[in-house]
Amino acid sequence: MDDDRSVRKLLRRCLESDGYTVLEAETELDVISALEQNNILLITLDLNLGQENGVAIAQSIRRRSEVPIIMVTGKGDIIDRVVGLEVGADDYITKPFHVREVLARVKTVLRRTDTRPQPSVGASDVHVSQSVEKTSFRFDGLVANTERFELLDRNGNVAELTSGDFNLLQIFLENPKRVLSREHIMNKLNGIEWAPLDRTIDNQVARLRKKIEREPAAPKLIKTVRGIGYIFATDVERG
């Protein structure tokens, strides 16, 4: 979604040339209508829209769906990127952009968020099964599979995590019982620049706690290390 027709045209040509089917939207109503009537796999959303608020639209999308969102912004200001990530965006692109960068980011986000059913594994595919198992993490009754980008809750159901949530969770799972600074976490998350007063990570951690902690208000998994960052304080079993 973009209020600039020329930008929408460029994105359409870019994506259609690589085999994607593209729907254009100019207003929030157009976006929600397309989302309800079509199987949308990804949304590109301009953060700075004319009379409409890109952040509010992202929040509206998130209330309805976990569809991946790539924010497009005309500014290099970190504030824009921080706001985009805080409302649940999976990645961002800064204008002016190169079409190859757009395609690369779209493919990366789609690959990370692909939740299609996996094919059954036969005897001849034992090596594939073993490879998938090694990407599993078990902790506090939850199971995370980094190959499928999927988290199973304590009842065995698929939890609703954005790819941003899952990326943050994976960082913790790969570094259990190790204190991680906010700067370290930010660098792992798409190499985003960080400043001491930046609250992006704190907000993302709060959102993740709501999805994995038994009592988010009294977290036992992701604990705050005052003045430094966070520690994933539970045992993690790698499958």
Task: Fill in the amino acid letter for 171.
Answer: I
Beta bridge partners of 48: 53
- Would 201 be classed as within a structural domain? yes
Q: DSSP alpha helices (H): ranges in 126-181?
A: 126-133, 163-173
Examine the domain organization and report whether 137 and 229 are in the same domain: yes
Mean pLDDT, residues 30-37 taken together: 87
Examine the domain organization and report whether 142 and 195 are in the same domain: yes
Domain count, the chain: 2
- Would 117 be classed as within a structural domain? no
Mean pLDDT, residues 212-237 taken together: 93
Examine the domain organization and report whether 94 and 176 are in the same domain: no
Which pTM was predicted? 0.51
- Would 121 be classed as within a structural domain? no
Mean pLDDT, residues 53-81 taken together: 77
Grade residue 197 by pLDDT with cuts at 50, 70 and 90. Answer: low
Residue 116 has pLDDT above 60, yes or no: no
Give dist(CA 147, CA 53) in Å, integer.
35
- Would 124 be classed as within a structural domain? no
Residue 173 has pLDDT above 90, yes or no: yes
H or E segment and range at residue 35: helix 28-37
Q: Output the domain CATH number for residue 22.
A: 3.40.50.2300
Tell me which of 128 and 80 has the higher pLDDT: 80
Domain hosting residue 222, numbered range: 129-238
Beta bridge partners of 152: 143, 158
- Would 64 be classed as within a structural domain? yes
